[in-house]
A = this chain, B = another copy of it.
Amino acid sequence: KAKVPSPTETERCIESLIAVFQKYAGKDGYSYTLSKTEFLNFMNTELAAFTKNQKDPGVLDRMMKKLDLNSDGQLDFQEFLNLIGGMAVACHESFLKAAHPHKRM
Shortest Cβ distance from A46 into chain B, in angstroms?
4
Q: Does chain B have a CB within 8 A of A56? A: no
Kindly list chain B residues whose C-beta atoms are within 8 Å of the C-beta of A12.
Answer: 16
Q: How many residues of A contact B (CB 8 A)?
A: 36
> A2 near B: Cβ within 8 Å?
no
Are A13 and B17 in contact, with the CB atoms below 8 A? yes
Copies of this chain, count:
2
Chain B residues in 8 Å Cβ range of A69: none
**A59 contacts B by Cβ under 8 Å:** no
Min CB–CB distance A104 → chain B (angstroms): 11
Closest 4 CB pairs of A and B: A10-B46, A81-B85, A8-B46, A14-B88
